[in-house]
Structure 1
Amino acid sequence: MEKSKQTFMRKMSAKHLIMLSLGGVIGTGIFLSTGYLIQTAGAIGTIIAYVIGAILVSLVMLCLGELSVYEPSTSSFHNYATKYISPGAGFVVAWLYWLTWTVALGSQFITMAILMQRWFPKVETWIWCLIFVNIILLSNIIDVRWFSVSEFWMSLIKVLALTIFLILGTGGIFGFLPISPSGSAPLFQEFTANGTFPKGIGAVFLAILSANFAFSGTELIGVAAGETENPKKNIPKAIIKTITILVVLFIGTIIIIGALLPQSSATLTESPFISILNTLGVPYAADIMNFILISAILSGANSGLYAASRMLWSLANVGTLPKKFAKLTKRGLPIYGLLLTILGGFLSLFSSIYAADTVYLVLVSISGFAVVVVWLSIGWSQLNFRKQYLKSGQSVADLGYQTPMYPIVPWLVIILCAISMIGIAFDPNQRVALLIGIPFLIICYAYYELIFKKKIADSQIDETNDVKQEEKV
């Protein structure tokens, strides 16, 4: 199957890559779910969980770095899985990743609409959904530079919010800021107020699963590799800085929340940020957090639409979707992929409202499972890539970026991702992800092998015959 001759424009710098990745990662997980995790696993257990999550995502990004610098392409890990594992594996990875972001779009639209009702209670949620859809569609459809700049500023709001929270929280812990109502510095007394692990070590293991998902989105750097200027320089720089920022912000945030928020507090039902900002005497804390949450979700939706549309383009570019989806505008944008993803987001939104216990449950389960599968595919691809690279007689010294400690790093990624999948089976709330995700993966792979593989082979034969006919003429 002939690939599209159109190319994406390389306009993203290292700072845009960093903010794109942060935009996909920093969301409701850190702003809303951390209180619940600390309540169940304890502050120390949650810190351990996030440290392990940070280690895993760092290993994944080290693998992706070598692949992306050597072969920077749009929706790269789909291409790497296709090339270094099997075409069927690449097909499955691409569809899983597209589904992940598309399902997220539906929940993000409705969540932003509900948050806006705090300020505008008389405006219907569907109106806000349409407004936010148009905002992210315009951000993605004008120009990749425009997208990069808009995502940069939206992500910057989240990064600054977490940074300011860390500064204020540190001031509260060490007594530089008064704590209401006691007025005394708590230091780290709350860390073990209910014991080191309040609900046992099993709760910590389940918190690790949540931490892994909290770090998902960092791989967006690989999606944007084909639109990055000077990828050999900018991709490694973006990876190192992204991981550093995430580790400092995420683990620092957990430490602050664990130290300042009582584990028995009833306010764990809302954002722990609001509770802590209120105890520090920050005025309008709830309104401030509402604005930050909307910015965080809007940024995530913006990144999600970008990533999902590139996956559709990548599938069409190798012939597993109609060629129309490989068509780019004059500004290098996959217009049909953007529109189909927006449509998918709307369908996800409607299913969350009208079929929450059936269709939407299936979609959410598959998308949650997909993150681990994608990370596993990156480690597996890098493992096989290096083998093929060396087998071809080339030297590791010639690689623009080298994954350190090969093959230990990719094997650790594969093993840790496999352990995460096994761990999902022990969590009653996430077990459905395996029960639905694994059959979906098998069906996708079988569909490719039994149907698309034959279609592509027939198409290649037809193209070869056409070429021969032209040569005769």
Structure 2
Amino acid sequence: MSTTATASPTGEMQRGLKNRHLQLIAIGGAIGTGLFLGSGKLISVSGPAIIFVYMVIGFFVFFIMRALGELLLSNLNYHTFGDIAKDMLGPWAGFFVSWNYWFSWVIACVADIIAITAYVQWFNPEIPNWLPALITAGVLLVLNLQPVKYFGETEFWFAILKIVAILGLIAVGVILVLTGFTSPDGTQASFANLWEHGGMFPMGASGFVLGFQMGIFSFIGVEMVGTAAAETENPRKTLPKAINSIVLRILIFYVGALAIIMSVTPWNMIDADKSPFVTTLALAGFGLAAAAIQLVVLTSAASSANGGLYSGTRMLFGLSKDGHAPKSFSLTDSRGVPKRAVFFTSVFLFAAIPLLFAGDGVVAAFTFVSSMCATMILFTWGSIVVSYIVYLKRYPERHAESKFKLPLARFAPWLVLAFFVFIAGTLLYGEDTRPPFLATPFWFVLLAILWQLRKRKLQREGRPLTAAIPLPDTQD
């Protein structure tokens, strides 16, 4: 492999993302496959109660992101969650958090590619399974080999497309409700559909609790803004704006969109195996619009996979800089792209192709993978919260000087950790989510073994257990 365009192992990534990129990455990260595809399964499990599920999860996600924002801005030398974890909790935590986040995005990307295959076949069932998966993996590889500004531009337009589609769906839905539209099968659009088919909690407390299982997966990616901040111009100005807009995004894109969908189409008529965004328009007789939304759903999955590959490669880059992964993964080319980290992570995306021949239950596979991702993301988010608790005790002066403090800083982190225990209980409670939840600890056992091997190797070579994090600059 030619190395003419490769910088030294100490090469750094560039701050090539602008404010508009970060804002749209923040929005796009919260609108992924979990919302477009997984919400159908969630509605079938919880009914209209899913609206309250998203409100509750969004409430806690806001506190997680505010904690992350304060941590990142307390020292602009933090580039990833792994940097924060190793500085606050120790080298082992950086190893665990970074590899766990990398792996969670690898399997999430595989799930997205499988979902893309299903979406493509909606248009033409004759297309072989492996073809869209192969093309998608190849395109994602090429996109992530470009400078970060091109990643930002791609995600910017992906996010614009998703935003326009959802806002368009909400507008059409409101018009249908206000005009009392009646679908060809005799169903009338009305806000009363939210409570006239068994009430807001038709499945009782059990259905409400089960809604949290896949609901948490819908928010995986919202933390991507923290990874992107390391390559953003003027993060002190752009990061707070992106994080503070989370509440509004959740209210519009989750609560608003699903409330309108269930007003146009009663929740008990929504197919759990299909995207409710598509079936709602199809039921209302808007076949062309349904096809357009299906195309948006497809690009949304591509956007999620693209962002996941980006986040995964940046984690791998950080692991290499810490000595926790092969040194070659920290090499960047003249444009600041960690090419070897991109190639290594991309290899795993092609694993989606053989998985397509293992069975035909896309939603079942999606549920399994999303549940495993949910367990892993709890660990990632948990590391942010625990790191914040340590930061508060160790650096009270940084907290006092911070211009972007976590609200209820002494109380909120413990409340969030209690919520994580609740989520773990819901994953263990559900029949679909119990197997992947119980399988995930084996991954952490493997990480523990790998950490011991890596630690001993570093000690034998007389190298530090991790790279040091420089102190904040005085202008910070």
- 1:246 counterpart (250, 266, 275): 250
Alignment partner of 2:286: what SS? coil
Contact 2:25 2:159 in 1 (8 A): yes
Instruction: Give the AA of the match of 1:376.
Output: G
Asked whether 1:258 is paired with 2:262, we answer: yes
Instruction: Give the AA of the match of 1:423.
Output: T
Asked whether 1:70 is paired with 2:100, we answer: no
Asked whether 1:383 is paired with 2:389, we answer: yes
Alignment partner of 2:63: what SS? helix
Asked whether 1:336 is paired with 2:340, we answer: yes
- Following TM superposition, by how much is the alpha carbon of 1:133 offset from its aligned partner in structure 2, in angstroms? 2.1
Contact 1:22 1:155 in 2 (8 A): yes
CA distance in structure 1 between the aligned counterparts of 2:221 and 2:404, rounded to whole angstroms: 21
CA distance in structure 2 between the aligned counterparts of 1:52 and 1:462, rounded to whole angstroms: 42
CA distance in structure 2 between the aligned counterparts of 1:269 and 1:105, rounded to whole angstroms: 20
Asked whether 1:324 is paired with 2:328, we answer: yes
Residue 379 of structure 2 corresponds to: 373
Residue 311 of structure 1 corresponds to: 315
- 1:458 counterpart (448, 452, 460): 460
- Structure 1 window deviating more from structure 2 (90-99 vs 21-30): it is 21-30
- Following TM superposition, by how much is the alpha carbon of 1:432 offset from its aligned partner in structure 2, in angstroms? 1.8
CA distance in structure 1 between the aligned counterparts of 2:464 and 2:218, rounded to whole angstroms: 46
- Following TM superposition, by how much is the alpha carbon of 1:153 offset from its aligned partner in structure 2, in angstroms? 0.3
Contact 1:101 1:307 in 2 (8 A): yes
- Following TM superposition, by how much is the alpha carbon of 1:60 offset from its aligned partner in structure 2, in angstroms? 0.7
* Mapping 1:216-295, distance limit 5 Å: 216-265=220-269, 267-295=271-299
User: TM-score under structure 1 normalisation?
Assistant: 0.88
- Following TM superposition, by how much is the alpha carbon of 1:185 offset from its aligned partner in structure 2, in angstroms? 4.9
CA distance in structure 2 between the aligned counterparts of 1:256 and 1:380, rounded to whole angstroms: 37
- Following TM superposition, by how much is the alpha carbon of 1:363 offset from its aligned partner in structure 2, in angstroms? 6.8
Change (3 A) 1:355 1:180: closer
Contact 2:113 2:352 in 1 (8 A): no
- Following TM superposition, by how much is the alpha carbon of 1:90 offset from its aligned partner in structure 2, in angstroms? 1.9
CA distance in structure 2 between the aligned counterparts of 1:262 and 1:20, rounded to whole angstroms: 32
Superimposed CA distance per residue, residues 290-347 of structure 1 (whole angstroms, 9 cap, x where no aligned partner): 2111111111111011011111111111001111001111111111111111101113
Change (3 A) 1:355 1:384: farther
* Mapping 1:203-214, distance limit 5 Å: 203-214=207-218
Asked whether 1:433 is paired with 2:436, we answer: yes
CA distance in structure 1 between the aligned counterparts of 2:382 and 2:136, rounded to whole angstroms: 33
**Matched residues, number:** 455
CA distance in structure 1 between the aligned counterparts of 2:412 and 2:159, rounded to whole angstroms: 29
CA distance in structure 1 between the aligned counterparts of 2:16 and 2:149, rounded to whole angstroms: 6
- Following TM superposition, by how much is the alpha carbon of 1:365 offset from its aligned partner in structure 2, in angstroms? 5.6
CA distance in structure 1 between the aligned counterparts of 2:158 and 2:134, rounded to whole angstroms: 19
Q: Which runs of 5+ in 1 are unaligned?
A: 464-473
- Following TM superposition, by how much is the alpha carbon of 1:411 offset from its aligned partner in structure 2, in angstroms? 1.6
CA distance in structure 1 between the aligned counterparts of 2:231 and 2:148, rounded to whole angstroms: 8
- 2:168 counterpart (164, 171, 180): 164
- 1:7 counterpart (5, 12, 26): 12
Residue 468 of structure 1 corresponds to: none
Contact 1:348 1:360 in 2 (8 A): no
- Structure 1 window deviating more from structure 2 (337-346 vs 411-420): it is 411-420
Residue 55 of structure 1 corresponds to: 59
Change (3 A) 1:121 1:46: closer
- Structure 1 window deviating more from structure 2 (108-117 vs 175-184): it is 175-184
- Following TM superposition, by how much is the alpha carbon of 1:364 offset from its aligned partner in structure 2, in angstroms? 6.2
Q: Which runs of 5+ in 2 are unaligned?
A: 1-7, 466-476
Residue 419 of structure 1 corresponds to: 422
- Structure 1 window deviating more from structure 2 (332-341 vs 89-98): it is 89-98
CA distance in structure 1 between the aligned counterparts of 2:116 and 2:202, rounded to whole angstroms: 33
CA distance in structure 2 between the aligned counterparts of 1:462 and 1:186, rounded to whole angstroms: 64
Contact 2:329 2:338 in 1 (8 A): yes
Change (3 A) 1:110 1:419: closer
- 1:36 counterpart (41, 53, 56): 41
Residue 407 of structure 1 corresponds to: 410
Alignment partner of 2:344: what SS? helix
CA distance in structure 2 between the aligned counterparts of 1:266 and 1:303, rounded to whole angstroms: 29
CA distance in structure 1 between the aligned counterparts of 2:329 and 2:9, rounded to whole angstroms: 10
Alignment partner of 2:67: what SS? helix
- Following TM superposition, by how much is the alpha carbon of 1:71 offset from its aligned partner in structure 2, in angstroms? 2.5
Superimposed CA distance per residue, residues 386-416 of structure 1 (whole angstroms, 9 cap, x where no aligned partner): 21112xxx35342242112112122222221
Superimposed CA distance per residue, residues 164-187 of structure 1 (whole angstroms, 9 cap, x where no aligned partner): 111111222222766555485523
Alignment partner of 2:191: what SS? coil
Contact 2:59 2:247 in 1 (8 A): no
- Following TM superposition, by how much is the alpha carbon of 1:83 offset from its aligned partner in structure 2, in angstroms? 1.3
Change (3 A) 1:216 1:26: same
Asked whether 1:16 is paired with 2:18, we answer: no
Alignment partner of 1:284: what SS? helix
CA distance in structure 2 between the aligned counterparts of 1:430 and 1:154, rounded to whole angstroms: 30
Contact 1:75 1:311 in 2 (8 A): no
Superimposed CA distance per residue, residues 419-453 of structure 1 (whole angstroms, 9 cap, x where no aligned partner): 211221111211123322123223313431x2222
Change (3 A) 1:254 1:305: same
Contact 1:82 1:88 in 2 (8 A): yes
Superimposed CA distance per residue, residues 344-377 of structure 1 (whole angstroms, 9 cap, x where no aligned partner): 11135424534999x9999766433101111111
Instruction: Give the AA of the match of 1:13.
Output: K
Change (3 A) 1:106 1:65: same
Q: Identity over aligned residues, as a percent?
A: 27
CA distance in structure 2 between the aligned counterparts of 1:178 and 1:107, rounded to whole angstroms: 36
CA distance in structure 1 between the aligned counterparts of 2:199 and 2:181, rounded to whole angstroms: 27
